[in-house]
Structure 1
Amino acid sequence: MVGSQAIIAYPKPDGSMNVYTSPINRYATKLQEGNLSVPVYDLSASYSNVNSEITVFATFVLPSNTTTINHVWQDGPLLGTTLGIHGVSPNHLQSTGMLNLSSGQTVTAKGGKTQRSSYGIWGMLMPIGVMVARYLKAFQPKSSTWFRLHRGLQSFAFLLGIAGWATGLYLGVTSPGVQHKNHMAIGTTIFVLGLFQVFALCLRPKPDHKYRSYWNMYHHIVGYGVLGLSVANIFIGFSILHPGQIWKISYYVTLALIIVSALLLELFSQVKTYMQARKKPNQENGA
């Protein structure tokens, strides 16, 4: 994990242990030996043939008033004297926790699950809310049902977006050195644009107002922009959180169904508009 301050240990061919520190600054790391951001003393390791476990011993000098630290652990293959990449199963990707230095207790991090849940539901509600406004209104122009559904779905999606954004900020604060700048920049942009949409609803002109067409243009541009950015950021989030296949498959299938449904509804809407346009001249000529 980028930003980790790692201790590497593995047995040599002669049976002795090779143990050293390695700061991980990039994904394509070779785990080269280097100093950590904190002093480390009395570094050693032992290997047990009984259960094939390696035990690492070390003394860290942490900054004053440090009460908790994030803990990450991994194991991977040893190819001769070269360390291989660790596995990417859920057990590997969720091997994180927070160690309370006062109590000695370790709490498994759950922020990733919260963020995945927010991503999944948010990523489904937003396009559905857009479809409700575009197509339900087209089929029931005199009803206000589409507006209430659209407002409710988008408001709930916005609240979930805030939850995911806040969770990302928390994980960033509690994981110093781990930064995903593109994801953070897009997420912050979505959050700001979402706030603009909320404020714009409070300033929405009446249908017959002379500026209503400009408001509609702004609302549509920002809305579709947020939708596109949110889908892109969800894919970026997947590459960061590495969720299980069930999460990815569920989102891909749902997104595909939404796209197909939107295309069919768009086709029906255009056909209806075309038929109404043809019917109107015929009625005028008949009159």
Structure 2
Amino acid sequence: MAKLRSWTQIWRSIVGMCILNFVLNFKIVTSADDTGSNSIVSEGDCKNTNYQIFLPPPYQNISSTICKPVWHSYELRYTKTGDTTTIILSAPYTVGWVGIGFSRDGMMAGSSAMVGWVNKHGHAKVKQFYLRGRRQSEVIVDKGELPLNNVPAAVATNGAEIYVAFQLQATTPFGKQPILLAFSTKRPLNHHLSKHEDKTAVIFDFSSGSTGPVSNWLIQIRKSHGIVGVLGWGLILPVGAIIARYFRHKDPLWFYLHSVIQFVGFAFGLATVLLGLQLYRSVHVHIPAHRGIGIFVLVLSILQILAFFLRPDKDSKFRNIWNLYHSWFGRMALFFAALNIVLGMRAAGAGNGWKISYGFLVSIILVAVIVLEVMAYLKRSQKRSLPHTFQMDPVGEANFPTNLAKGTCPFPLFHTTSSVY
């Protein structure tokens, strides 16, 4: 019995020690969790900066934020409270301006941005800008589509960094959002932004705090819109026009080649317009000149297709009018198509690869046209300078003698008598 009692006491001691150890560990873990939940900022890979010291209220009263590095030394902090999303962007700063834009497709045109700077008098400024286009005149101050609430945006500097803080009010939670980041070392003059010195676009996921490159189906459609447009209006249709002008001596081969090539080019042009309309419906990018010229060129192309089916016969009195209409409408379509390709590249911020490639293509076509035009001119000049070695009177205008006696010949050389034979 004594041995059994001793084993019972040992067992109780072991169980008690385990329970005590569990309770102590639970208290330690709970204390650590409480300490973590009360921390000011969940910094992650960001710098541990107490921005509450220099930012005005209500931004200094935010209990916690999520922070993620987004570009170089740029850091994006945000927090959600109901329908309100508070965003704080920090970036290196000495002079100039720093901006963060919200885009539908990662493009500058059509986006809205918050831009902060410190003027030459040391006063911090922050404004919303609507980026209607790429030109300076198309960057409009105090306009934009950001759902700002009534809390004023704020800008502050801390050492060699600037902080741009603002709040967005939206009933729909922010998810994956294309973000534009840019800066310039020149201060805005009368609220006119100078051209950025560097920029980037990323996809920021406000639901998870992750970032990634801008790569979605809208970007693919935009790229396809450009490629198909350059191939159709910049290559195929000009080649078809060259065949019709300089290879008519290869009849009827030139006609069949011209017809087939122009139909293929028209299909490419139609696909370009359809892709452009899909982009417009999806992102509502405001590029009226590019859109209007594209529709105008499509109308000219449709008229050219109709001209093919309404072509009069060669001996028709309307054939000359049709020839003038067909040739000049075609030239107008090619000219405005080339102009629209340039406008599209400018609006999309195309890189040097696009510009060099299209410039090379246009140069090749222009050189080919010049060479063929010179050859055609020389050939026409050569035909006009040929000597008239043999002149015949037109039929019905020969002056034959009428006073000859019957049975005589007007040409003595060929005159014969019966004595010869």
Q: TM-score range by the shorter chain?
A: 0.7 to 0.9
Alignment of 1:66-85 (within 5 A): 71-78=178-185, 85=195
TM-score (norm 1): 0.74
Structure 2 residue aligned with 1:257: 364
**Counterpart AA for 1:175:** V
Structure 1: segments with no counterpart, 5+ residues: none
Structure 1 residue aligned with 2:319: 212
Partner secondary structure for residue 73 of structure 1 = strand
Within the candidate set 297, 301, 306, 1:199 is matched to 306
How far apart are residue 135 of structure 1 and its match?
0.7
Structure 1 residue aligned with 2:269: 161
Partners of 1:54 and 1:215 lie apart in 2 by 66
> Kindly, what percent of the aligned residue pairs are identical?
24
**Counterpart AA for 2:181:** Q
Within the candidate set 86, 100, 103, 2:196 is matched to 86
Structure 2 residue aligned with 1:132: 243
Partners of 2:324 and 2:278 lie apart in 1 by 35
Within the candidate set 326, 338, 361, 1:231 is matched to 338
**Counterpart AA for 1:119:** G
Within the candidate set 114, 121, 130, 2:224 is matched to 114
Partners of 2:202 and 2:273 lie apart in 1 by 20
Larger radius of gyration: 2
Partners of 2:329 and 2:145 lie apart in 1 by 43
Partners of 1:270 and 1:61 lie apart in 2 by 68
Aligned residues: 269
CA contact (8 A) 1:123 1:230 kept: yes
Give the superposed CA RMSD.
4.1
Distance 1:134 1:38, change over 3 A: same
How far apart are residue 170 of structure 1 and its match?
2.3
How far apart are residue 7 of structure 1 and its match?
3.1
How far apart are residue 183 of structure 1 and its match?
1.8
Within the candidate set 275, 278, 281, 2:382 is matched to 275
Worse overlay, 31-40 or 118-127 = 31-40
Alignment of 1:173 onto 2:281: yes
TM-score (norm 2): 0.53
How far apart are residue 132 of structure 1 and its match?
0.6
Structure 1 residue aligned with 2:76: none
**Counterpart AA for 2:270:** I
Partners of 1:69 and 1:219 lie apart in 2 by 50
Alignment of 1:61 onto 2:170: yes
CA contact (8 A) 2:112 2:128 kept: yes
Within the candidate set 85, 88, 113, 1:6 is matched to 113
**Counterpart AA for 1:238:** M
